[in-house]
Structure 1
Amino acid sequence: MIGKGKSISHTLASMNYGWNKEKRAEVIFKEHLAGDTPGEITEEFRIIQSQNERCKNNTLSFVLSPAIKDGQDLSGTKLNEITSRFIKEMKLQNHQSIGFVHRDKHHLHIHLYTNRIALNGELYKDSFIGKRSQVAADKVAQQMNLTRAREVQKEKLEELKHLRKEVQHIHQQVLQAKPKSLDEYLKKMKNHQVRVLPSINKANQLQGFRFEYKGINLKGSQIHRSMNGNNIILAISQNNRYTRLREAPKTMKLLDSPIQLSTGIINKITKDLMKQAIKRALDTGMGAGF
């Protein structure tokens, strides 16, 4: 099961989406609420939220997605249990919550909306809410013997094995042509029908790449471990020099403009360069002994 979470401000619009009958929506969970319409529930949220007017993103929105096979056998009672356990793992028992199941697609999923302001007026901290949602959903899946997120991801990647190999082969071909810039690498990949999407973090730093090809969109590391951001940047940086690269670059040009590399990528490249230096030293020493 996969869990996603974020803080939002558009409570009523989200409630209306959750309650959409066209999506065969059913209420499967309700906590500390009495209303029977999106407007009534939103008003109940608003009364509690009035205790903290400074908080703008005052509603938590979660999506819980069991594996397709699991979803086919989940009753309303089981869906209620999934949501209740998730609320407990997130420590949100003292908050108003309402959960809907959507069955409009082949993949059943739960939309859960929770008041970020507790009944006692305390503000729920939403730092790393996305990651914490993933962890909580995984714990619930483990508790209820449902398919866990890592198993779902493994199955998905196995299904896409052929396409992943195609992208990896194209990537290797392009690197063999020794592109000397990220823009050249992106252009050559595009010539082979692979769209490379730079991943930029909140600090506006480059932290990796995603690859689009024949309907798939995967991180480089999901295609092959050699296609993570630091390996690609290291290879291009080395192509662009006449002498051996001795330290990790801090910036690179992307779309003809300089962009800062993330600390994670810089640290990984530094480690790779140290490994290369140690290997050269060992190889040189070994050769000298014969």
Structure 2
Amino acid sequence: MIAKTKIGANFLGAICYGAGLRLSGKEIEGKSELLLTHNLVSDDPKGMALEMQREAEFSRCKKPVWHTSLSWKPGEEPSKEQMIEAANRYCEKMGASPENHQIVIFQHHDRPHKHIHVYMNRLPIGGGNALATSHNYARNVRVCKEISQELGFDRVENLQKGRLRHVAEDRKEAQKIVNLAIRETLKQKCRTLEDLRRRLRESGIECKFTFDAARLKYSSYHYKGVHVKGQDVGFTAKNLEILLSNNQKKVKFYEQKITV
């Protein structure tokens, strides 16, 4: 399990995203499912956001919105009850007790892996200090590791920002350049291996892809005569396929959004 956290000021925009609503208010069918709320009366996104905003409006806290996405390893199939339990434990461990904070949990169905979105009001009910946000990255890593061990989940490494493996000194320059080039290409919504090959070639990088039954099995790259493996630059064959597939889904989603 892995967590990514954002802190914001607008409950309405955050909760509407969690509920799978477009800016127009129209629901994106099948994208989102409400799993649980704590300390909220409303069951519609706008009502929940208003309640949370009212609880925070007398505070000096300028960014009361805590939004965390919790994701499971591709192929892992936690039940709704397990995802809710993980979310509750996450909130508790991060300092937002479900008894004292307003919390909303949605499951999204727009990715191949199971994931949920947890929205917390940083301000406790009835007033008090806002939930601390310092060292969020390190805290997320620690808390996810604890919950994964407690509930028997696999820990998911960050697919885009995996550590570079140790390589010989004469390969380090090529390793870093290939890593950065792949990152940049993926940010530009590259969707296929052929598109990746073409774009990297423009940067002077040659790709070699090996397949097994139409699935990518191995990848390697050449830069200025230096050979580096896909896993050495932070992108295994499996991770690369997942990231390209995610880009395909994102582009398709935006294209559908534009035509609506």
What is the aligned counterpart of 1:25 among 21, 32, 44? 32
What is the aligned counterpart of 1:104 among 110, 134, 148? 110
In structure 2, distance between residues paired with 1:39 and 1:138: 34
What is the aligned counterpart of 2:147 among 135, 140, 161? 140
In structure 2, distance between residues paired with 1:3 and 1:107: 13
- From the superposition, tell whether residues 48 and 106 of structure 1 become closer, same or farther in structure 2 (CA, over 3 Å): same
The residue aligned with 2:198 is: none
In structure 2, distance between residues paired with 1:106 and 1:61: 21
Per-residue deviation, residues 149-196 of structure 1 (Å, max 9, x unmatched): 3xx459x97xx99xx98xx85835999xxxxxxxxxxxxx984239xx
Bigger radius of gyration among the two: 1
Aligned 1:150-161 pairs, distance under 5 A: 152=157
Per-residue deviation, residues 194-237 of structure 1 (Å, max 9, x unmatched): 9xxxxxxxxxxxxxxxxxx89xxxxxx9738xxxxxxxxxxxxx
In structure 1, distance between residues paired with 2:32 and 2:174: 47
The residue aligned with 1:125 is: 132
Task: Give the counterpart letter for 2:8 in structure 1.
Answer: I
Task: Give the counterpart letter for 2:4 in structure 1.
Answer: K
Aligned 1:163-202 pairs, distance under 5 A: 169=171, 171=173, 191-193=203-205
CA-atom RMSD in angstroms: 3.6
Shift, 1:23, TM fit: 5.0
In structure 1, distance between residues paired with 2:40 and 2:49: 10
Task: Give the counterpart letter for 1:223 in structure 2.
Answer: V
Note if contact 1:4-1:134 (Cα within 8 Å) is conserved in structure 2: no
Bigger RCO of structures 1 and 2 (CA < 8 A, at least 6 apart): 2
- From the superposition, tell whether residues 170 and 14 of structure 1 become closer, same or farther in structure 2 (CA, over 3 Å): same
In structure 2, distance between residues paired with 1:173 and 1:25: 39
Aligned 1:215-254 pairs, distance under 5 A: 223=233
1:14 aligned to 2:7? no
TM-score (normalizing by structure 2):
0.58
1:88 aligned to 2:92? yes
In structure 2, distance between residues paired with 1:174 and 1:140: 33
* Structure 1, unpaired ranges of 5+: 176-188, 195-212, 215-220, 225-290
Note if contact 2:104-2:118 (Cα within 8 Å) is conserved in structure 1: yes
TM-score (normalizing by structure 1):
0.53
Return structure 1 stretches of 4+ with deviation > 6 angstroms.
none
Task: Give the counterpart letter for 2:61 in structure 1.
Answer: C
Note if contact 1:29-1:84 (Cα within 8 Å) is conserved in structure 2: no
Helix, strand or coil at the partner of 2:75: helix
Helix, strand or coil at the partner of 2:106: strand
Q: How many residues align?
A: 176
Aligned 1:258-273 pairs, distance under 5 A: none
Note if contact 1:6-1:130 (Cα within 8 Å) is conserved in structure 2: no
Q: Report percent identity of matched pairs.
A: 25
Aligned 1:199-214 pairs, distance under 5 A: none
In structure 2, distance between residues paired with 1:153 and 1:61: 18
Tell me which protein shows more helix as a share of its residues: 1
In structure 2, distance between residues paired with 1:32 and 1:153: 32
Task: Give the counterpart letter for 1:118 in structure 2.
Answer: P
Task: Give the counterpart letter for 2:109 in structure 1.
Answer: R
The residue aligned with 2:120 is: 114
In structure 2, distance between residues paired with 1:79 and 1:23: 18
Task: Give the counterpart letter for 2:34 in structure 1.
Answer: V
Task: Give the counterpart letter for 2:108 in structure 1.
Answer: H
In structure 2, distance between residues paired with 1:222 and 1:82: 32
Shift, 1:12, TM fit: 0.7
In structure 2, distance between residues paired with 1:190 and 1:145: 44
What is the aligned counterpart of 2:67 among 61, 71, 92? 61
In structure 1, distance between residues paired with 2:12 and 2:144: 25
In structure 1, distance between residues paired with 2:172 and 2:90: 42
- From the superposition, tell whether residues 79 and 37 of structure 1 become closer, same or farther in structure 2 (CA, over 3 Å): same
